[in-house]
Amino acid sequence: MRCPYCGSVDTKVVDSRYSEDMEAIRRRRECLNCGKRFTTYERVEIAPIIVIKKNGEKEEFNAEKIKKGMKRACEKRPINEEDIDIAVREIERDLRKRDSIEVSSMEIGEMVMEKLRSMDKVAYIRFASVYREFEDVETFQKEINLILEKYGGR
C-alpha cells in the first residue's frame, strides 16, 4: 500500500477491524518511511453476472428486473413482497455459485418460473404465458394441463 503522504510503499498494518456496516475491513496503517498513519478500507469485489439475451446481446444482471416481472405475475395473488425478495435473492445466489459469470436469459427465466411454480400456480402461468410467448389458446391449455398432471391442481 502506497503512503498518501510520502509515496513510499513500505507500510505496515497497525490495526484491522470490520467497518461499522460490516461490508469492509478497516485497516490502520503506518508508513515505515515517514511515520505517518492512515486508514484504508478493503472490500470484496464481486464480478458482475453477464446475461446473454435472446438476440445475443449481453448486459449486466439486474435483480430488479426479475423482481419487477415476478411482482407483475403475482399481482392480486396471496404472495407478499418479502417472499418475492427471498426468491430473487435465491436466484442471484444460485447464479453466483456457477462456474461461469455468463448466463442466458432463458436459464434465468426458467429459474423464475420454477420459483413461481412453487409459490403460486396462477402467478406461474401468468409469467410463463409472457415468458414463453404462448401463441394461442391451445399452447396455453397444454401448459395448464401439464401443471394439473404434475401437481394435481394443488
Of residues 33, 113, 107, the one with CA closest to residue 69: 113
pLDDT at 143: 77
- Alpha-carbon distance of 145 to 122, in angstroms, equals 13
- Alpha-carbon distance of 52 to 133, in angstroms, equals 18
Q: Which pTM was predicted?
A: 0.66
Output phi, psi for 14, to 5 deg. -95, -35
Q: Which residue has the higher pLDDT, 146 or 50?
A: 50
Alpha carbon of 76 to those of 53, 115, 131: distances in Å? Answer: 29, 18, 19
DSSP letter at 75 equals T
Using pLDDT thresholds of 50, 70 and 90, give the confidence band for residue 72.
very high
Domains of the chain, residue spans: 11-42, 50-151
